Structure 1
Amino acid sequence: MRKDTVLRGSLAAALMGFCILTVTSGEARRVHDPDTTTKVRTERGAEVEEKPDFRMRIDALIKEAEKANAVAAEKPLFSVPQTLSEYDTAIIGTPLASQEQCVDYLLSVNPYPAISVTPRELVAYYYEEGAREGIRPDVAFAQALKETGFFRYGGTVTPDQNNYCGLGTTSATVKGAYFATSQIGVRAHIQHLLAYASTREPMQPVVDPRYSLVRNVYGTNTLGHWQDLNGRWAVPGDSYGQSILSMFRAILHK
């Protein structure tokens, strides 16, 4: 019995040793619990209340680290040339037109586009997906306007497909690809442009059903300019790329 008592006393003392901090300044003692407010009693008998700021500091550091990681993740892992002129015909580049200009131009021609999201949301998807892959989003949106007739459709593709560029529509009787959401449809469009313009794989998993087909055909070759899509994206499409660029300039001057 005595041995058990001594053993229990030793264990209790050891545990207390982990929990009690000896504070040299003022010779104070307290139980350290960062989640609760504690009181420190000094030898002079005064009690000092401490606030639980330790956990707050840790949380703040974690949030800062997460924010830094998010910013780093958004930065492209490749170089994208800055687009400086409306007469630059490159597929890869940065936008010149604002999102607001894209929305205004669409609504000036068709106030009631047949799309599953708002015009502002659709344009935002083009800018998000385009920036991720280095594809000029304002010109890609102009291509969508051309392909869908300003989202009036009326051809083989129907609005419920979320297919904004005629992907897989190889004839008047083939409706082409269906996409579950508007953003996935935009992503497929941007990835299809990337398939022509670069040998680099997309940053997101491939949703373009014809991405591999294009890459297998072109191998190490690429098409760098919108007019290079003539007779390739659209057949015969003699001035297909030029008409897209013309529509883009109309957006820019809206």
Structure 2
Amino acid sequence: MITRRQFLKASVASCAASVIAAVSRAGERPSYQVYLPLVQTIAPPLTDTPPPPTPIPVPPEDDLPPILDNAPLVGPATGTEHMAINWFVPRADRSYTAFDIGRIVGAYRVIGEIAGIDWFLALAQMAHETGHLTSFWSLRPQRNPAGIGVTGEWRADPPPDPTGWAYNTQRQRWERGISFPTWAEHAIPAHLGRLLAYALTDEQANDAQRTLITTALAVRPLSPALRGVAPTILGLNGRWAFPGTTYGQSIVALARRMRYGPATLDLSAPAEEDGDVMPEGS
């Protein structure tokens, strides 16, 4: 027969064995497990060959007005400073540096824009008249951009009054013509103002144009009968230069070459050397 003492002793031993077993299992693995969801990326569906990138629009060659066969003298410029400088720099006399030409062309643009005249066409006239700044009258100290006052009159001996004369070192003779002390303040206003005088009457001109015309005609008067007779370049035929039957056409052709090329040098003779001269009173 089991006594009470023996029963208690057996119960305590059983509980101790259970505790020891539980502690042993806890050291082998965690009492619980955490299960995380599996996230799997989905590959995009296969497509055809990707489209090419959107092409960048190519701007038009320029937004300048066209150079018409009978181009108007008054209106927006038909070329740019860059075009004119690129044309003159390789062709001008070496005494005119690229800096000089940039200043001359820039002055044509500034004064021309104020007066509303196609200054690029005027530069083409200057290129035609001066052989691209190589003629005697275009060189310093003459600075004559368009044969202004160069009538073809000449003499071998010095004139009694040298005013309005210059000794042409290229031809070794005295020639009548107008010299200008500066390009920007004198020569270019005289050139553009004279073109405006041919293109417009006083009634047609605005204040800025009338001011430029007055400046130009103070240098060399223009017959009132010639005011406003040449709104276009062909109107200068036989008037700015004589005989000048294709004077305007030559300037238009040159303006187009200045704008579009070719890159080859154009060594045509200046107008003052090909028989065209400015008539008296014109």
Sort the TM-score into its range (normalised by shorter chain): 0.5 to 0.7
Indicate conservation of the 8 Å contact 1:113/1:150, yes or no. no
Identify the residue that residue 187 of structure 2 maps to in structure 1: 185
Aligned CA RMSD, in angstroms, stands at 2.7
CA 1:224–1:97 in 2, change beyond 3 Å: closer, same or farther?
Answer: same
Segments of 5+ residues of structure 1 without an aligned counterpart are 1-81
Per the alignment, residue 109 of structure 2 pairs with 127
Deviation track 1:128-150 (CA, whole Å, cap 9, x = no partner) reads 11112221010100111111111
Structure 2 gaps of 5+ residues are: 1-62, 155-174, 262-282
Partners of 1:160 and 1:191 lie apart in 2 by 21
Write the mapping of 1:141-180 to structure 2, written as runs, cut at 5 A.
141-154=123-136, 158-173=139-154, 174-180=175-181
Alignment CA distance shift 1:166-1:130 (3 Å): same
Q: CA deviation at 1:195?
A: 0.5
Write the mapping of 1:49-64 to structure 2, written as runs, cut at 5 A. none
**Preserved contact between residue 195 and residue 215 of structure 1 (Cα < 8 Å):** no
User: CA separation of 1:205/1:137 partners in 2, compared to 1, >3 Å: closer, same or farther?
Assistant: closer
Counterpart among 221, 225, 234 of residue 217 in structure 1:
225
Counterpart of 1:107? 89
Alignment partner of 2:72: what SS? coil
- Once the 2 structures are TM-superposed, how far is the Cα of residue 157 of structure 1 from its aligned partner? 6.0
**Hey, what does 1:18 align to over in structure 2?**
none
Q: Report the structure number with the largest CA radius of gyration.
A: 2
In the other structure, the counterpart of 2:233 is 226
- The one-letter code of the counterpart of 2:250 is S
Q: How far is the alpha carbon of 1:158 from its aligned partner?
A: 4.8
Query: Which amino acid is the alignment partner of residue 217 of structure 1?
Result: A
Contact 1:95 1:136 in 2 (8 A): yes
Higher percent of residues as helix: 1
Q: Which of 139, 163, 170 does residue 121 from structure 2 map onto?
A: 139
The equivalent of 2:253 in structure 1 is 246
* Code of the aligned partner of 2:181: A
Give TM-score, length-normalised by structure 1.
0.60
1:86 equivalent to 2:88? Answer: no
What is the rounded CA distance, in whole Å, between the counterparts of 1:117 and 1:142 in structure 2?
Answer: 19
- The answer as to 2:79 corresponding to 1:97 is yes
Q: What's the CA shift for 1:171? A: 1.6
Cα shift at 1:170: 1.2
1:186-201 paired onto structure 2 within 5 Å:
186-199=188-201, 200=205, 201=209
Residue 11 of structure 2 corresponds to which residue in structure 1?
none
Provide the rounded CA distance (Å) in 2 between the counterparts of 1:244 and 1:120.
Answer: 21
Equivalent-residue separation in structure 2 for 1:132 and 1:101 (angstroms): 20
Residues 110-167 of structure 1: per-residue CA shift (max 9 Å, x gap): 372548971101001111111122210101001111111111114x665312210111
Number of aligned pairs?
171
- Identity among equivalent positions (%) equals 25
The equivalent residue for 2:37 is: none
Q: Is the 8 A contact 1:229 1:241 kept in 2?
A: yes
